[in-house]
């Protein structure tokens, strides 16, 4: 529209892409709102999936640690039972 009104005018701005970043995402100023929203939603979904995966790994690690501690406790209890059943070696003649 402006080109029709001012056909002899020059374009002097060459830095349209200066503000084309949002939290590390590169946006072309010519993109539509739908494209930008889609790119944002994709990045947000990836961030949420990554956070969910970290939480799952953390929970799995905690579960394995709890299983190991329970196994160690069982082994210690069995060792105490075994030691309690053994005759006292100190009373044996030398």
pTM of the model: 0.48
Q: What is the domain count for the chain?
A: 1
User: Rounded distance, CA 59 to CA 66, Å?
Assistant: 11
More confident residue, 76 or 2: 76
Q: Give me the helices (H) in 1-94, please.
A: 2-5, 33-85
**7-65 pLDDT per residue, tens:** 787 766 666 555 566 666 666 666 677 887 888 999 999 999 999 999 999 999 999 99
- CA 38, CA 25: separation in Å to the nearest integer? 12
Range of the domain at 61: 19-84
Is residue 64 a part of any domain in this protein? Answer: yes
Residue 92 belongs to a domain: no
Residue 89 placed within a domain = no
Between the two ends of the chain, the Cα-to-Cα distance in Å is: 113
């Amino acid at each position: 529209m402006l080109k029709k009104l001012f056909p002899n005018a020059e374009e002097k701005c060459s830095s349209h892409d200066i503000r084309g970043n949002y939290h590390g995402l590169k946006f072309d100023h010519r993109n539509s709102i739908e494209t930008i929203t889609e790119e944002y939603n994709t990045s947000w979904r990836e961030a949420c999936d990554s956070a969910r995966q970290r939480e799952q790994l953390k929970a799995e690690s905690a579960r394995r640690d709890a299983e190991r501690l329970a196994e160690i406790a069982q082994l210690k209890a069995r060792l105490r039972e075994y030691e309690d059943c053994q005759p006292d070696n100190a009373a044996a003649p030398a």
